[in-house]
């Protein structure tokens, strides 16, 4: 559910900012962080057509597109203001989220913002929705200061009471779930049922965190010394910075925010510039709960911004943990900046995920699973299936079924879908025919930006050059917005460079395989290690897949798609995916520090003083001590008092004073 690298227009706004050495990416083209770095280090190895498009876009200092900077908007003519969707009657529901024509993008207990003004756009028609004033560096400094002050209050509140506040946040989100989900659909571009489902994920993680708030803690461990015990103490890290990408603008923040809060941390959020309205709307809901509980609003701060804010967060020693969701290339830069100050980072980066279907697979599961994993969210999930390995005995049949299934996908405005949409993915492909009225729900929306469309076309052309055959799709749709045809490509080599390049679009590369050994190796040969899935009925094969010589991914599925994580399990991947874990299981440990990192808290409840490892540390004279004479003797004291005289003196003292003395 994360934002991979090749998505142009992703989080960083899809724009470019010029550094000293020339134009350079604000993120992996457009991905979550909004960071940029001088030179060409920000450009990961990519296919030639894609690189040529990057070079073309780098000639522009700033794209006048979604997320681009617009100067002087305060003096824009009334005609421009009236074109904003928020001023049109059919979008009046945006006011329910307290959104306006121009919104302040900084919150630290009060709303403000002294940075650039950006306009966000609807991917379905590329029309402007509303504007957001971003944070300046001065705003960021003030927000960090207030957040750290708020932490001193929040950390003293007992964990179960912190959980009660998080519960109220979940309830507040429930009340706004439909309208907030509609905003996700409007500004991000995913179908409505997915937009609502994303808000539901935040609600679910709040519910999960409430229970966790009464359970977090360290164990009491057995000691090798008699009468001793070891205790692990867990404490909050302090200030948690959260940088999220455009493709899950609510859920990923929720995963981090809810768990970090019950652990006793305060949060500073920088969402993707292209989904700034969502960041503002969510923060308003959370801020109201904090206000009702008479708590500092800076416990959950917001700084909408781009490269300057993202870089400041990565380099700031006051940010005790930085959670970054974005591309692998930008994630590496973030990790280096955080590590340079010996900070902690939680990285959720790209994925190049595979589905493997063996000869004994149930094709009634394989086809809808591959469809949903490859086409859901228009291929813009980090867990999107980008590679499909089919046993040679079923290859042709599955391809034919997939082509028929793809042909039945209804494309349209993402907010036209209903709660039944995703369910249809898994039921209607069982029928040989489907009437139009039965497929009335939109299942497929636009890509997030125009740049993403260009990236899609570049990847399709490169696949053809490398010997691939486009058996379905491959074109831009003739309609307003950023719509492309979901695409199936066959006949590529398993190690083709385009297949190893994560293109953030609905392109599925399909391969034949002969045996288990080779296909397991092919699954693992890409740099990322996020999600993977096999379809088989062979129990032995399933356990080999789950074992040390099977999939090397963080998510290893059997007979289900690569997409669709639940909040109860820890989410994350290996290798170039970053190694971070969010959401459930023991992911809460990422947001806390152990006192055992510095020393083990050991309690002696006996009357003796044994040392670990059986060490004897005694003087030549055998001195005996009792509990009421717990004396530490420094035999090198710069005086002439003998041990015997010291003991005699303290013996006399204890006869008169029933106390424990340390000399």
- Alpha carbon separation from 28 to 36, 145, 250, 276, 405 (Å, rounded): 9, 30, 20, 18, 32
pLDDT at position 417: 59
Per-residue pLDDT, 49: 35
Does residue 611 form part of some domain? no
- Least confident range from 15-24, 519-528, 551-560: namely 15-24
| Residue 314 sits in the same domain as residue 455 | no
In terms of domains, do 3 and 85 share one? Answer: yes
Quick one: DSSP state of residue 190?
Answer: -
Considering the domain architecture, whether residues 402 and 342 belong to the same structural domain is answered as no
245 and 285 fall within a common domain: yes
- pLDDT at 195 (0 to 100): 97
What would the two tokens of residue 520 be?
A: 């397991």
Same domain, 333 and 415: no
Pick from 10, 659, 27: nearest CA to 314: 27
Query: How many other β-carbons are positioned within 10 Å of the β-carbon of residue 424?
Result: 22
Cα gap 430→87, rounded to integer Å: 44
Closest C-alpha among 429, 399, 403 to residue 510: 399
The pLDDT of residue 653: 55
Longest CA pairwise span in the chain (Å): 103
CATH no. for residue 220? 3.40.605.10
Number of independent structural domains in the chain: 3
According to DSSP, residue 238 is labeled S
User: Does a structural domain hold residue 411?
Assistant: yes
Cα separation, 498 vs 8, whole angstroms: 16
Q: pLDDT at position 437, please?
A: 36
DSSP state of 388: E
Which two tokens mark 328? 């692998």
- What is the rounded distance in angstroms from the CA atom of residue 209 to the CA atom of residue 214? 9
Three-state DSSP state, 479: coil
Q: What is the DSSP letter of 618?
A: -
Q: Please report, for residues 138, 279, 286, 319, 325, the alpha-carbon distance to residue 261 in angstroms, rounded to integers and kept in the order given.
A: 25, 18, 12, 15, 19
Buried/exposed code over 582-605 (b: 16+ C-beta within 10 A; e: otherwise): bbbeebbbbbbbeeeeeeeeeeee
357 and 272 share one domain: no
pTM confidence score = 0.80
pLDDT of 596: 54
Here the tokens at position 537 are 């009925």
Same-domain pairing of 627 and 588: no
Handedness of CA 635, 640, 644, 645 (dihedral sign): negative
- What pLDDT does residue 247 have? 97
- The reported pLDDT for the residue numbered 595 is 81
Tell me how crowded residue 363 is: count the other CB atoms within 10 A of its CB: 13
Q: Is residue 241 part of a domain?
A: yes
d(CA 312, CA 23): 20
Q: What is the CATH number of the domain that holds 381?
A: 3.40.309.10
The secondary structure element, H or E, covering residue 132 is strand 127-133
> What's the rounded mean pLDDT across residues 431-445?
55
- Average per-residue pLDDT in the chain? 83
Q: Mind listing the pLDDT tens digit for each residue in 287-325?
A: 999 999 999 999 999 999 998 999 999 999 999 999 999
- pLDDT surpassing 60 at residue 73: no
CA–CA distance, 504 with 46 (Å, rounded to integer) = 12
- Of residues 234 and 629, more confidence is placed in 234
Give the range of the structural domain holding residue 415, as residue numbers without chain letter: 353-571
pLDDT in tens, 232-283: 889 999 999 999 999 999 999 999 999 999 999 999 999 999 999 999 999 9
Residue 251, token pair as written in the block: 């859920």
Give the residue, 139 or 633, on which the prediction is more confident: 139
Q: In this model, does residue 75 exceed pLDDT 80?
A: no
Domain membership flag for residue 414: yes
Classify residue 218: in a domain, yes or no. Answer: yes
Q: What is the pLDDT of residue 81?
A: 57
| Within a domain: 112 | no
Contacts of 606 (CB under 8 A, 6+ apart): 226, 227, 228
Distance set, CA 388 to CA 110, 278, 622 (Å): 49, 34, 75
Is 187 in contact with 272 (CB distance < 8 Å)? no
Judgement on whether residues 345 and 358 belong to the same structural domain of the protein: no
For residue 609, being part of any structural domain is answered with no
* 178 is a domain residue: yes
Shared-domain flag, residues 631 and 509: no
**Residues 311, 184 within the same domain:** yes
The DSSP H or E segment spanning 302 is strand 300-303
| Residue spans of alpha helices (H) in 116-219 | 137-154, 159-175, 177-188, 192-212
By the 10 Å C-beta count (0-12 exposed, 13-18 middle, 19+ buried), 228 is classed as middle
Nearest to 32 by CA among 355, 442, 235, 314: 314
Instruction: Tell me the angle at which helices 307-315 and 137-154 cross, rounded to the nearest 10 degrees.
Output: 40
Are 495 and 627 members of one domain? no
Region label for 491, one of left (φ > 0), alpha (ψ between -120 and 50) or beta (otherwise): left
User: Band of the pLDDT at 228, cuts 50, 70, 90?
Assistant: confident
Residues 10 and 84 in one domain: yes
- CB–CB of 568/584 below 8 Å? yes
Angle (nearest 5°) at CA 176 between 293 and 97: 85
What average pLDDT does the segment 443-465 reach? 97
Q: What would the two tokens of residue 426 be? A: 């898994």
Catalytic residues: 348
As a whole number, mean pLDDT of residues 87-93 equals 96
């Amino acid at each position: 559910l994360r934002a991979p690298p090749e998505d142009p227009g992703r989080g960083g706004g899809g724009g470019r900012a010029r550094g000293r050495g020339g134009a350079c990416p604000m993120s992996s083209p457009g991905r979550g962080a909004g960071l940029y770095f001088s030179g060409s280090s920000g450009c990961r190895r990519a296919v030639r057509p894609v690189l040529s498009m990057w070079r073309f876009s780098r000639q522009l200092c700033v794209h006048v597109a979604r997320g681009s900077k617009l100067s002087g908007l305060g003096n824009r003519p009334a005609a421009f203001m009236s074109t904003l969707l928020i001023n049109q009657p059919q979008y009046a529901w945006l006011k329910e989220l307290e959104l306006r024509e121009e919104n302040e993008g900084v919150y630290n207990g009060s709303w403000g913002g002294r940075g650039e003004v950006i306009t966000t756009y609807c991917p379905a028609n590329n029309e402007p929705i509303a504007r957001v004033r971003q944070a300046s560096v001065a705003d960021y400094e003030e927000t960090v200061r207030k957040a750290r002050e708020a932490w001193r209050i929040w950390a003293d509140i007992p964990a179960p009471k912190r959980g009660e506040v998080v519960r109220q946040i979940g309830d507040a989100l429930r009340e706004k779930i439909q309208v907030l989900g509609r905003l996700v659909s409007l500004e991000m571009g995913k179908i409505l049922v997915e937009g609502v489902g994303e808000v539901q994920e935040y609600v679910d993680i709040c519910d999960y965190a409430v229970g966790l708030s009464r359970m977090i803690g360290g164990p009491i461990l057995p000691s090798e010394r008699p009468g001793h015990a070891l205790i692990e103490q867990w404490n909050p890290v302090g200030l948690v910075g959260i940088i999220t990408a455009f493709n899950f603008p609510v859920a990923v923040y929720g995963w981090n925010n809810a768990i970090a809060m019950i652990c006793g941390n305060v949060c500073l959020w920088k969402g993707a510039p292209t989904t700034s309205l969502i960041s503002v709307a969510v923060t308003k809901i959370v801020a109201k709960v904090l206000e009702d509980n008479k708590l500092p609003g800076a416990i959950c701060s917001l700084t909408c911004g781009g490269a300057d804010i993202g870089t400041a967060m990565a380099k700031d020693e006051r940010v005790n943990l930085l959670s970054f969701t974005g591309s692998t290339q930008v994630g590496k830069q973030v990790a280096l900046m955080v590590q340079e100050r010996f900070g902690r980072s939680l990285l959720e980066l790209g994925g190049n995920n595979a589905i493997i279907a063996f000869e004994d697979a149930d094709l009634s599961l394989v086809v809808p699973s591959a469809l949903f994993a490859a086409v859901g969210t228009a291929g813009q999930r980090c867990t999107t299936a980008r590679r499909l390995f089919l046993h040679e005995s079923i290859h042709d049949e599955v391809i034919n079924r997939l082509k028929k299934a793809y042909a039945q996908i209804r494309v349209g405005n993402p907010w036209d879908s209903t709660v039944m949409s995703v369910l249809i993915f898994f039921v209607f492909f069982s029928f040989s025919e489907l009437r139009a009225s039965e497929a009335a729900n939109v299942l497929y929306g636009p890509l997030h930006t125009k740049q993403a469309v260009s990236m899609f076309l570049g990847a399709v052309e490169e696949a053809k050059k490398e010997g691939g055959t486009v058996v379905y799709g491959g074109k831009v749709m003739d309609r307003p917005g950023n719509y492309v045809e979901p695409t199936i490509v066959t006949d590529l080599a398993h190690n083709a460079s385009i297949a190893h390049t994560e293109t953030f679009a609905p392109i599925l590369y399909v391969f034949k395989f002969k045996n288990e050994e080779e296909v397991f190796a092919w699954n693992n040969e890409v740099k990322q290690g996020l999600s993977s899935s096999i379809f088989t009925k062979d129990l032995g094969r399933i356990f080999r897949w789950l074992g040390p010589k099977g999939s090397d991914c963080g998510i290893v599925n059997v007979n289900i798609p690569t997409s669709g994580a639940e909040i109860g399990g820890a989410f994350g991947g290996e290798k170039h995916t970053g190694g971070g874990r969010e959401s459930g299981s023991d992911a809460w440990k990422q947001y806390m520090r152990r006192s055992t990192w510095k020393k083990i808290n050991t309690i002696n409840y006996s009357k003796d003083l044994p040392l670990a490892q059986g060490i004897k540390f005694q003087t030549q004279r055998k001195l005996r001590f009792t509990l009421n004479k717990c004396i530490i003797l420094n035999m090198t004291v710069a005086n002439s008092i003998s041990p015997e005289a010291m003991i005699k003196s303290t013996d006399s003292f204890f006869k008169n004073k029933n106390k424990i003395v340390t000399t």
